[in-house]
Amino acid sequence: MTETVLKVTDLKVAFGQFEAVKGLSLELRERETLALVGESGSGKSATALSILRLIEREGGRIAGGNIRLAQNGNFLDLAALPEDRLAGLRGNQVSMVFQEPMTSLNPVLTIGDQVSEVFVRHRGMTRKDAHRAAGQALDEVRIPEPGRRLGQYPHELSGGLRQRVMIAMALACRPKLLIADEPTTALDVTTQAEILKLIKTLQAEIGMAVLFITHDMGVVAEIADRVAVLKSGTKVEEADVFDLFQRPEAPYSRRLMAATPKLGEGSRVGAAGSETVLSVEGLSTRFQSRKRLFASREAGVLAVDNVSIRVRKGETLGLVGESGCGKSTLARSILRLIEPECGRVEIGGNVLSGLPAKDLRSSRKHAQMVFQDPFASLNPRLPVRDLVTEPARIHGVVKAGDLRDFAASLVTRVGLEEDAIDRFPHQFSGGQRQRLCIARALSVSPKLIIADEAVSALDVSIARQITDLMLDLQLRDGLSFLFISHDIAVVERISHRIAVMYKGRIVETGPCEEVLRQPKHAYTQRLLDAVPSPDPERRRLAMPAAGLEKIAV
């Protein structure tokens, strides 16, 4: 019989007048993993922060309900506990791992200082003992060479290692409850797989309960025992993970499942033409490490290394790879937003390489780009009518008098209302902004659109709408796409062919099916293995023996 660790009843969290969580009840037992799933704005992070009462620092407050934590056979109401007693619990009995491993560590303190701090604070150890304990803690989270890491600073560690350090700190005092708020969202799939496995293993060793917050159904299927689906601050469904994936009850859960791209689901792309729209040959881009007087030309990092790709009319080439592999640099080098070192780029019969600046600018109308962050890629000071028509104005495609009508036709093409043209970007949601970015790209009727992680910042259902929009535009207008993403499942849905990039090189390219079914390169294989599958029956991450033990709820 496992005992209850946390009992949340009728929790209400408010930010000013806005109620972010509207009466949520949860129960968590020892050794159990409860996943809190929902799209942005569903109140999942607000719930997580409320449990540690960190919500007050974010400007919110607990407006009602109880948060009871088991303590020596009794329950302690965290919602009513004074601040000084809470400080003793945080990082000790309840600890938290955050999304951003880049910013959750103090950049001016060594790893050793930060991890040993926990032991000094909660275990009353001396600095020396704490330092030794910190070494063990790093060893526990399987960080190679823990002794050396203690003296290093956060910037010397990769994202995955930093997240391991965060976990080491969170687990240092053997908490009863670990709250993990999107701990793998900022990581690459292969790193994500390692972190998930680590959390699962340590849970089995320590026996803590885990409250896992995520938007990714694939991650849920991999790690959760039970799942609570949140929507606009209310729980729409709570179920065993197997039940939820087989028989989702609530309509919203079903929609969420349907929107989640699954690897191996195939795509509904149309037939591609034969005419070549984009041809890249032997493209290399080097980043100079530092300006030095006598530096040889060979110094610096080769971010794009002799890449050759080809995209035909009406075709989508999916470019996948991990962060830092050179995908975005390749995209920018193709358009010469970054000057490549060598190579030849031809878009729709126009050779971009070697063009003088003025001709380069006028030939940019053949290819347009859509960026990742819809909040930053629209000038906040301009109204939509000016934003979406800007490329057309630059290239003289539209006369000033026809501007409004033209803007209206563009926004309707991407599925927005006509009256959107007089509004400003901040009045739109992320998905709508991405539609505006696409409208802007369409304004010059380009032959090719390069979408750089264009749906990565969006919720799954919104991302699906955007990829559907791209498919529709392709079927209707014969547009070609270079679709860059780290998410292979999304790429599969939209692409005819896939190119896999690794350390600046294209290691494999071929038809979508072929690359995914019979990957030739070892790296492709590794990438595919790491993708979490949204099916708890087929967990891909090898689970430790102890962790497989199913808990009676």
Q: Which positions lie near another protein, rule CB under 8 A?
A: 332, 335, 337, 361-365, 368-369, 371-373, 376-382, 390-391, 394-395, 424, 426-427, 437, 440, 444
CA dihedral (286, 289, 292, 297) positive or negative: negative
- CA atoms of 54 and 52, how far apart (whole Å): 5
- CA atoms of 209 and 551, how far apart (whole Å): 12
Least distance to another protein, CB of residue 417, Å:
17
- CA atoms of 221 and 225, how far apart (whole Å): 9
Q: Which is nearer to another protein, 157 or 369 (CB)?
A: 369
Q: Which is nearer to another protein, 57 or 358 (CB)?
A: 358
What's 399-429 look like in SS3?
Answer: CHHHHHHHHHHHHHHCCCCHHHHHCCHHHCC
Both tokens of 192, joined, read 């994500």
- CA atoms of 270 and 475, how far apart (whole Å): 6
Q: Which is nearer to another protein, 11 or 449 (CB)?
A: 449
Least distance to another protein, CB of residue 442, Å:
12
Least distance to another protein, CB of residue 538, Å:
38
Strands 4-15 and 61-71: antiparallel
Backbone angles phi, psi at 234, to 5 degrees: -125, 150
Contact 141, 167 (CB under 8 A): yes
Angle between helices 111-123 and 127-140 (to 10 degrees): 110
Q: Which is nearer to another protein, 208 or 378 (CB)?
A: 378
DSSP secondary-structure letter at 80? Answer: G
Least distance to another protein, CB of residue 328, Å:
11
Q: Which is nearer to another protein, 218 or 431 (CB)?
A: 431
Least distance to another protein, CB of residue 363, Å:
8
Q: Which is nearer to another protein, 164 or 440 (CB)?
A: 440
Angle between helices 127-140 and 159-171 (to 10 degrees): 120
- CA atoms of 487 and 455, how far apart (whole Å): 10
Least distance to another protein, CB of residue 412, Å:
21
Q: Which is nearer to another protein, 97 or 335 (CB)?
A: 335
- The CA angle 385-336-186, to the nearest 5 degrees, is 75
Residue 2 to residues 73, 93, 208, 551, 552, Cα–Cα distance (Å): 13, 17, 11, 8, 8
Least distance to another protein, CB of residue 365, Å:
6
- CA atoms of 348 and 304, how far apart (whole Å): 22
Both tokens of 404, joined, read 């409004």
Contact 201, 544 (CB under 8 A): yes
Residue 110 to residues 128, 154, 164, 543, Cα–Cα distance (Å): 15, 7, 15, 32
Q: Which is nearer to another protein, 220 or 444 (CB)?
A: 444
Residue 329 to residues 148, 374, 378, 469, Cα–Cα distance (Å): 33, 19, 21, 25
Least distance to another protein, CB of residue 426, Å:
5
Least distance to another protein, CB of residue 23, Å:
29
Least distance to another protein, CB of residue 446, Å:
10
Least distance to another protein, CB of residue 450, Å:
8
Count helices and strands in the chain by DSSP H and E runs: 20, 20
Q: Which is nearer to another protein, 128 or 426 (CB)?
A: 426
